[in-house]
Amino acid sequence: MPKIVVLDGYTTNPGDLSWEPLAALGELETYDRTPRADVLARSQGASILLSNKTFLHAEHIAQLPELQYIGVFATGYNVIDIDAAREHGVVVCNVPHYSTEAVAQHTMALLLRISNHVAPHSDAVHQGKWQRSKDFCFINHPMFELQGLTMGIIGYGSIGAATARCAQAFGMNILAYKRTPPKTSPAGVTFVDIEQIFRESDIISLHCPLTPATEKLVNAERIALMKENAILLNTSRGGLVDENALAHALREKRLYAAGVDVLSSEPPKADNPLIGLENCYITPHIAWAARETRQRLLNVVTDNVRAFLNGKPQNVVN
């Protein structure tokens, strides 16, 4: 049986899912986390390696002659040296679309946190502030309606499209940017250039991959194009945003707020400029982490390995 090694399985399966379907396909070893210094030792003899965020560099792949397959517990595969894998005949497979609805849901959760401030109002009630109020309602944070606002979506793939549908359900107008826009636009979605997104949107939501072309896509120059009191949402990749420029705009109240699930370095460094800003709402890269979403991810990873072993690999990225 093939040796299958999971290098960093904890975030996908912290104990509430079963590895048994994957174990049925080979001799399975699982590690919660693998430090870089241990990657080679733990990978020896494996024909199949599975990774979420553990890097597999060219020097690793070159020293693993039995390696035939690398699977990622993710859609993005930037942790794998794709060129080295191709050079050594190693198939690399990812898991597309597993988190589409979950990430769209989390995007809206961040936006609703900004628009309705449910948590601080609830906290105020538990602190006795409503009980001490002279009025039948108690408002300690400003709120606003989403209906009639314009959301600009940068990256109109499956997650961007799902987010657009959620926003439309709240009565929002949708502008979208896609490198190659479709010949026929979905109902209620207008495709425009990226500068128009920044100029005309009340809310901008990022849903594109991190590439050399998109790194720091949101920078000081583009922030300067945005409406006063606009909102930025990022549930894609932290590197899409120049965090210093965003922090400056938030401190100066040039933007109303930001809601992000990702940062440029994860876990973040102590001096990350966004941490501590009262108008920046940060969740710790959890948009994908609902149990149902992780189960779907594990199912597809297992299906990918099974397909490879049957000689018909699927979701190949190299």
3 state SS for 150-165: EEEEECCCHHHHHHHH
> How far is the C-alpha of 44 from the C-alpha of 39, rounded, in Å?
9
Q: Is 23 left (phi over 0), alpha (psi -120 to 50) or beta?
A: alpha
Residue 297 has pLDDT above 90, yes or no: yes
- CA torsion through residues 12, 14, 18, 19, sign: positive
List, for residues 4-28, the tens digit of each pLDDT value: 999 999 999 999 999 999 999 999 9
| Structure confidence at residue 221 as a pLDDT band (50, 70, 90) | very high
Question: Looking at residue 185, what is its pLDDT?
Answer: 87
> Is a pLDDT exceeding 90 seen at residue 102?
yes
Whether the Cβ atoms of residue 114 and residue 259 lie closer than 8 Å to each other: yes
- Angle at which helices 118-126 and 100-116 pack, to 10 degrees? 60
pLDDT of residue 51: 98
Question: What count of other Cβ atoms lies within 10 Å of the Cβ of residue 285?
Answer: 19
pLDDT in tens, 46-95: 999 999 999 999 999 999 999 999 999 999 898 999 999 999 999 999 99
Structural domains of the chain ordered from first start:
3-98+291-309 (3.40.50.720), 100-282 (3.40.50.720)
The answer on pLDDT for 303 being more than 90 is yes
Kindly report, residue by residue over 169-198, the tens digit of the pLDDT: 999 999 999 998 888 889 999 999 999 999
Instruction: Name the amino acid, one letter, at 24.
Output: A
Please state whether the predicted TM-score (pTM) of the whole model is above 0.85. Answer: yes
Q: Does 285 participate in catalysis according to the annotation?
A: yes
Using pLDDT thresholds of 50, 70 and 90, give the confidence band for residue 201: very high
Task: Give 173's contacts (C-beta < 8 A, 6+ positions apart).
Answer: 148, 149, 150, 151, 188
pLDDT at residue 101 is higher than 90: yes
Q: Is the peptide bond prior to 267 cis by the omega test (within 30 degrees of 0)?
A: yes
User: Rounded distance, CA 81 to CA 310, Å?
Assistant: 25
Q: What six digits make up the tokens of 303?
A: 């299906």
What value does the mean pLDDT take over residues 138-162? 96
> Residue 129: how many CB atoms within 10 A of its CB?
13
Structure tokens at 74: 């993710």
Q: Is 29 a catalytic residue?
A: no
For this structure, is 237 an active site residue? yes
Residue 98 CA to residue 82 CA, distance in Å, equals 21
38 in the Ramachandran plot: left (φ > 0), alpha (ψ -120 to 50) or beta? Answer: alpha
- pLDDT at residue number 126: 97
Q: According to the model, what pLDDT value does residue 82 have?
A: 96
Catalytic residue among 33, 36, 266, 291: 266
Q: Exactly one of 60, 285, 294, 296 is catalytic; name it.
A: 285
User: Which residue in the list 237, 243, 294, 296 is annotated as catalytic?
Assistant: 237
